[in-house]
Amino acid sequence: MQVTGADTGADTGMGRKGAGVLAGCLIACAGLLYLTAAGAVLGPFLLWPRTRAGARAALTAGARRIAALDRRRRGALFGDRFPLHYAPRDGQVLRYVAARAYAGTVTTVTLALFAFGGVLAAVFLAALVTGRVGVAELLGQLLLGGALLFLGVQGLRSLYVLDARLARDTFGPSERELLRRRIDELATSRAAVVHAVDAERRRIERDLHDGLQQRLVALAMLLGRARRPGRTPEQADALLRQAHEESRAVLTELREVAWRVYPSALDGLGLREALGGVAERSPVPLRLAFDVPDPLPRLVETAAYFVVSEAVTNAAKHAAATAVSAELAVSGSVLTVSVRDDGGGGADPAGSGLAGLRGRVEALDGRLRVSSPAGGPTIVTAELPCV
């Protein structure tokens, strides 16, 4: 009979898990012996306040060695992956070793009962073959054995799940810890979004006040001078030409402010064309690589646009860059936006512009990384989930 690769892989996986259960039983028995012996030796010192701290530290040190061995067992035989820099507290380690000692001992007893049941089944089968067992006794034994087998299998399954949960809660953040971290992340991202929106509002107010308002005042003064009595036609015509140029400059700056608030091209033409507009208005050459096959969610497109726009603006204003490249690609369900310039580097990730971008990206459960060593280059990378 031919054995397929999938069957071989499944058998190997079951074999590894079986070896992991047996190894867990041995480690749990070792933990039980350690807690019993250490408790007997260190018990009086744990009761005395002056020696309690030292005795607890000694007890925890041994428990940590057993827990580390069990962690390697879970990783090698079950394929578990735990955070490398996560260190459980002393109380967590002691509770883990105690819980594993109990659960592992119960698992060992259950497996021993299975082995004993197998021996009894073999003896009963031999008696059945030789005719020493009647039909009524056979039915009774089958009923009793089936019930015990069902209870044993369910017990082993529960102990298997308990083993995995204990390891996950001890060697990695527990479900409560993950929930608390998630709440902290959401609170931080919300505060960052509020700060970014407030900073953007103040920037728009500053652009309107210092830019457009001053140009409109100059335009009104030119028109007023053109209408002043005593002007020759040539003087009035020259003033009107200046007013016309000033009005065109006002429209250009107003369009720039509107694009910084929200690019209307995103609604009608999509992200590619909106980024093409960024390239046209960029004071430094911008090379755009766009590999996004499907339409993206609107919020993701908006965040990607502002990442490119802000990075290009910073490269032109602060880094003295002569060339900028932007690459957008989708891998799985994540859009990666990478903007690189050849400027002098030294960008501050905590600066107002990049901090606002980080808040906008993290509000979508994304991640923003900034690499800007002295001398350059500066690389701004954003990873945006598309789901």
pTM: 0.49
Is the per-residue pLDDT at 97 higher than 90?
Answer: yes
Q: Let me know if residue 193 belongs to a domain.
A: no
Does 36 share its domain with 84? yes
pLDDT at 260: 61
Rounded mean pLDDT, 128-132: 75
pLDDT 10s digits, 37-55:
998 998 888 888 888 889 8
The answer on 146 and 247 residing in a single domain is no
| Domain annotation covers residue 208 | yes
190 inside domain: no
Res. 6: pLDDT tops 50: no
What's residue 360's pLDDT?
79
Structure tokens that stand for 251 in this block: 């429209």
State the Cα–Cα distance between residues 317 and 372, nearest whole angstrom.
15
Note whether residue 379 is domain-resident.
Answer: yes
Across the range 304-308, mean pLDDT stands at 88
For residue 313, pLDDT beyond 70: yes
Could you tell me which residues come within 8 angstroms of residue 141 by beta carbon, excluding any fewer than 6 positions away?
124, 133
Strand partners of residue 326? 288, 339
- Judge if 152 and 96 occupy the same domain: yes
Note whether residue 266 is domain-resident. Answer: no
Q: At what angle do helices 213-227 and 233-261 cross, to 10 degrees?
A: 160
pLDDT value of position 264: 66
Average pLDDT over residues 171-196: 72
Listed in sequence order, the residues at least 6 apart from 22 whose beta carbon sits closer than 8 Å to its beta carbon are 111
Q: How confident is the model at residue 336 (pLDDT cuts 50, 70, 90)?
A: very high
* Cβ-proximal residues to 264 (8 Å cutoff; 6+ apart), any chain: 258
Query: Domain tally for the chain?
Result: 3
Single out the residue in 131, 155, 171 at which a domain terminates: 171
* pLDDT given at position 254: 72
**Together in a domain, 253 and 289:** no
Return the CATH number at 293.
3.30.565.10
Residue 3 has pLDDT above 60, yes or no: no
Extract the tokens encoding 167.
């390891």
Average pLDDT of the residues of the chain = 81
pLDDT tens readout for residues 284-293: 888 988 888 8
Predicted pLDDT of residue 31:
92
Same-domain check for residues 242 and 374 = no
Mean per-residue pLDDT for 200-208? 70
Same domain assignment for residues 20 and 159: yes
Mark whether 13 and 149 lie in a shared domain. Answer: yes
State whether 144 and 59 are in the same domain: yes
Distance of CA 177 to the CA centre of its chain: 15
Q: By the 8 A CB rule, do 80 and 93 touch?
A: no
What range defines the domain where residue 253 resides?
201-257
The reply to whether 95 and 34 lie within a common domain is yes
Cα angle: 226, vertex 229, 233; to 5 degrees: 55
Q: How many CA atoms lie within 13 A of 110 on its CB side?
A: 22
Instruction: Decide if pLDDT at 100 tops 90.
Output: yes
Query: Residue 192 falls within a domain, yes or no?
Result: no
Say whether both 220 and 163 belong to one domain. Answer: no
Q: Per mean pLDDT, which range of 130-144, 292-306, 315-329 is the poorest?
A: 130-144
Same domain, yes or no: 79 and 32: yes
Last residue of a domain, one of 127, 149, 171: 171
Q: Is residue 278 part of a domain?
A: no
For residues 285 and 310, the answer to whether their CB atoms sit within 8 Å is no
21 and 123 share a domain? yes
> Which residue, 209, 238, 257, sits at the end of a domain?
257
Q: What is the pLDDT of residue 106?
A: 92
pLDDT at 4: 42
244, two tokens = 């016309």
286 vs 275: CA distance, rounded Å? 10
pLDDT number for residue 1 = 37
CA 218 – CA 214 distance, rounded (Å): 6
Question: Does residue 295 lie within any of the structural domains?
Answer: yes
